[in-house]
Amino acid sequence: MLVASGLANASSDKSAIVVLGDSISAAYGIDLEEGWVALLAARIEQERMPYTVVNASISGETSAGGLRRLPALLEAHQPGVVIIELGGNDGLRGYPIGQLQTNLRDMISLSETSEAQVLLLPMEIPPNFGKFYTDAFRATFTQAAEHTGAALADFPLASVALEPELMQADGIHPTAAAQPRILDAVWSSLEGLL
């Protein structure tokens, strides 16, 4: 787990932003310092905003894994904002859509109960499981955020996913060059919460 912005010496007058994600937020295949979460920490520090950034992302993480880990993260960091970037691995593995939606809603509920604002980052998946599953997967993020206080961002990889030079050879993970664009996409939704 990486604690950035003010780097490990976060003062108690700063509020934490916890990023709970998978490989997209864990900077898979690139240096951790090049990932969008590290760039977020640098931007917040540069703008002298009173937040620390805690990257609690793990490559391969599912919504169920994130839900299991979230209570301890909330207790340890008492965040003002929780960014949830999970679901991609659920979709790639064909997990039940209903379970993904329940897990996302439970993470939002836990975060809001601990008085954190929530930003939900929707994911997209290749159409391997057919149109019905892909459409249901896409709709899950909107449905999970409904009737909650969570803010729903746009798909953070929208500006890079279809540009081969910005994607790693696996076609799933963005390159280091793509990370500033991902940060800009997240920032457009996050800035209002800060």
Q: Which region among 1-15, 80-94, 146-160 has the lowest average model confidence (pLDDT)?
A: 1-15
pLDDT at 13: 57
pLDDT of residue 1: 54
pLDDT (mean) for 155-171 = 94
Confidence of residue 6 (pLDDT cuts 50, 70, 90): very low
Active site residue 23: yes
23 vs 12, residue with greater confidence: 23
Cite the beta strand spans of the chain per DSSP E.
2-4, 15-21, 51-55, 81-85, 117-120, 151-152
142 confidence band (pLDDT: 50, 70, 90)? very high
pLDDT at 143 over 50: yes
- Is residue 173 flagged as an active site residue? yes
- C-alpha closest to that of 85 among 168, 16, 149, 150: 150
**Per-residue pLDDT at 8 exceeds 50:** no
- Selecting among 5, 15, 57, 173, the annotated active-site residue is 173
Q: What is the mean pLDDT of residues 168-176?
A: 94
In this prediction, residue 102 carries a pLDDT of 97
| Closest listed residue to residue 148, CA positions, set 112, 95, 103, 194 | 112
- What's residue 159's pLDDT? 94
| 77 flagged as catalytic | no
Active-site residue among 5, 15, 23, 57? Answer: 23
Say what the pLDDT of residue 12 is: 47
| pTM of the complete model | 0.92
